A and B are shown apart, each in its own frame.
Chain A
Amino acid sequence: MIVPNLHLLVVHAPEVANTIRPGQFVILHAGEGAERIPLTAADWDREEGTLTVIFMEVGTSTGKLAMLKAGDQIPTVVGPLGVPMEMRNFGTVVCIGGCFGMGSILPVVRELKENGNKVITILEGRSKNLLYWEEKLSKYSDKVIRLTRDGSTGYKGHVKKGNEILKEMNIIPDRIIAMGCTTLSYLATRDYAHYNVPIIITLNTIMIDGTGMCGVCRCTIDGHMKFACVDGPTSFRMWRILTWKKQNQGNVRG
């Protein structure tokens, strides 16, 4: 556990670690009877052949993962899945990470920097004790901003507050990338729409196979049906999404 309810898991999966790119995810399956869980890669080590994921314990199958001990075997690690995030020099990129996204945004931040971008990273959390990896992220960010809802550290407020902060710092983003829970993605697309720049979010839909076979991850974008697992999950600009199958998250919870 790295912060309350968030767990860090390092898995040995050399073939996956070897080809994974920022924005891609893997599916873990804790064994017979459990569900297959999509998790974004938060880091990897190609030499060691390991892959790091950070996940929130929300239900049965993530609970099973949380109970694993060092050295345990996970029968299923599939990946890398999804389309890697588009990477080049965009100019100034604002990256927002909340919840598990503070971890999974690391590879994004790192590669943006390698591509010569100016990277502003915003860590968003309810309270001070829920922020993590600030040091790692600072290494590749021009600036790291803390944002907590209770004001226990950094600025007090939610995603919207970012507007003021950016203004204060005279930063005009060329691209915004938000990773984390659905609320965060939604708020980012709503509160930053006025910049009129691409806002990239990850679609955390329910998934089963992650290969385009079941269609549970479908969403409608610009009137066309897309599958988050093979067309996404990070290649969409949320503000153009008309409807998406957010409800599906309730769908499986009979």
Chain B
Amino acid sequence: MEETKSRKRERVEMPKQAPFIRKRNFQEVALGYTKEMAVDEASRCLACKKPLCVEGCPVEIDIPGFIKCIATNDFSAAIRKLKEKNCLPAVCGRVCPQEEQCEIKCIVGKKGSPVAIGRLERFAAEWEASQTIMELPEIKTKTGKNVLVVGSGPAGITVAGDLILAGHEVTMLEALHEPGGVLSYGIPEFRLPGKIVSREIEYLQKLGVKLICNYVVGKTKSLSDLLNEYDAAFIGTGAGLPWFMEIPGENLNGVYSANEYLTRVNLMRGYQYPKTYTPVIRHRRVAVVGGGNVAMDCARTALRLGAEEVYIVYRRSRNELPARLEEFENAEEEGVIFHFLTLPVKLIGDEEGWLKEIECLKMELGEPDQSGRRKPVPLAGSEFRMRMDACIVAIGNSPNPIIPTTTPNLEVSKKGTIIVDENTGKTSIDRVWAGGDIVTGAATVILAMGAGRKAARSMHAYLTNGIVSTGG
């Protein structure tokens, strides 16, 4: 029977650069499906009546719908379906944690490997980009309302896209000299090429979004002042404030925050040095502290810059690793060495103030903590030292405080996140909405997009009939 046959068939592998080659270049690791591969993989989908995968998707993409279009070779319909719910399929197809969202729920996955939803999403987006004419959706009649979007990360991009299509004028302000948020300055080129992000931004500009870079809201002008010029505003300023470990030696040379390291390499194009003027020292032995996607990105970047040995030092065990499985596997394949259950306690420098060694403690897993994960407890007397030239701290970020501290009456939590109504993204201030990492703390691209979409809906309702609905 056709159905059983397709159920048993394993998923179509996506071609990748071989580890020994890719670990020395900044080109994208995954190469994407060909048409044939995509159609083949799409045919594994059972087009479930009650698709569980859709429940797992934070923005409820019609997954079986777009996959069916691919299976029938109608790629342009596939991308239209995707874009109904997700304005950044090329990004999400690459960086979403599908293995814990949609793919984990896929029925085919119960007996074998789930349908490769992410790879198909990516394929559809790439197909669209390869077409010479890009379909521009229709813009509703202009409403004459002006909307301000602060921050050009995925949350801001979504709001800008939705509201311009609804007929409002949109201005997007960005603090850095390039738009895209973490997509530009954080996630490295080999995972998400810069040209994909710029393509999305250009698309917004084609639709008529006005983008102004080098504008720090709260510094160049306060949000309160800007509100005199706009009918409504959205804050999507992300979680950009890096945490440090607060251990001795953190001010030594050779110690970086993940943000600094990645920004130097990505945004400032340090990976093209000496063609560019942002020198990034080629450290030989690099330790990255942390276990998330950010840590994997730093470790793999260090390898690509020519490091001989790169370590990931993580205080819990492999099972608790918060990074995406795919990224962990990629890192391991490329030769990153993992020290699990290890906690740095001290950084030791030489006479000139350069990092020389890091001192660590061995840990063991104890009782579960608030997060439900087993808490690491230090093993007494287990101190040991490792020689290192560089240490990159990738243990997390807090919300950027500039807007909260310069906007009176904006309600924020103890953690510094902006407090909003869960259903609408409305903040405590009149005419101001917020969403993304600035509300949730560091999270994911798709959640930031989802939050942007929700806020855009509520903003649109407000702009058209003056009503701010709460509670649904």
Interface residues of A (CB under 8 A from B): 15-16, 19, 29, 32-36, 60-61, 64, 75-81, 208-209, 211-216, 218-220, 225, 230, 243-245, 247-248, 250-254
Contact = CB atoms under 8 A, between A and B. Distances in A.
Contacts of A15: 215, 220-221
Contacts of B276: 32-34
Interface stretch (B46-54, B277-285, B326-334): B277-285
B253 A251 contact: yes
A75 B177 CA distance: 8
Which of B176, B256, B264, B280 has the most chain A CB within a 10 Å cutoff?
B176
Interface stretch (B240-248, B291-299, B366-374, B439-447): B240-248
Contacts of A75: 177
B27 interface: no
A225 B275 contact: no
Do most interface residues of chain A lie in helix, strand or loop, or is the interface mixed? mixed
Given A220-B251, A247-B353, A214 B260 contact: yes
Given A208-B268, A230-B401, A213 B277 contact: no
Contact of B253 (A213, A214, A250): A250
Given A35-B277, A215-B256, A218-B250, 15 more contacts: A15-B221, A33-B269, A36-B177, A76-B177, A76-B213, A78-B215, A209-B176, A212-B400, A213-B263, A214-B259, A215-B242, A215-B257, A220-B251, A225-B250, A252-B279
A225 B253 contact: no
Nearest to B246: A225
A17 to B, nearest CB: 10
Nearest to B238: A213
A247 B255 CA distance: 11
Which of B175, B214, B221, B268 has the most chain A CB within a 10 Å cutoff?
B214
A32 B282 CA distance: 22
B177 A34 contact: no
B220 to A, nearest CB: 5
A68 to B, nearest CB: 16
A208 B264 contact: yes
B131 to A, nearest CB: 28
30 contacts: A15-B215, A33-B269, A33-B277, A33-B278, A34-B277, A60-B277, A77-B214, A78-B177, A78-B214, A78-B215, A79-B219, A81-B219, A209-B176, A209-B263, A211-B175, A211-B176, A211-B216, A211-B400, A212-B240, A212-B401, A212-B402, A213-B263, A215-B242, A215-B259, A218-B251, A225-B244, A247-B251, A247-B253, A251-B254, A252-B280
Contacts of A208: 260, 263-264, 268
Interface string B110-140: 0000000000000000000000000000000
A248 to B, nearest CB: 7
Contacts of A247: 251-253, 352-354
A243 B349 CA distance: 14
Given A209-B263, A213-B242, A247-B252, A253 B175 contact: no
A33 B242 CA distance: 24
Contacts of B280: 252, 254
Contacts of B268: 35-36, 208
Contacts of B177: 29, 36, 75-76, 78
A246 B52 CA distance: 55
A31 B148 CA distance: 26
A38 to B, nearest CB: 13
Contacts of B251: 218-220, 243-245, 247
B281 A61 contact: no
A211 B240 contact: yes
A80 to B, nearest CB: 6
Contacts of A209: 175-176, 263
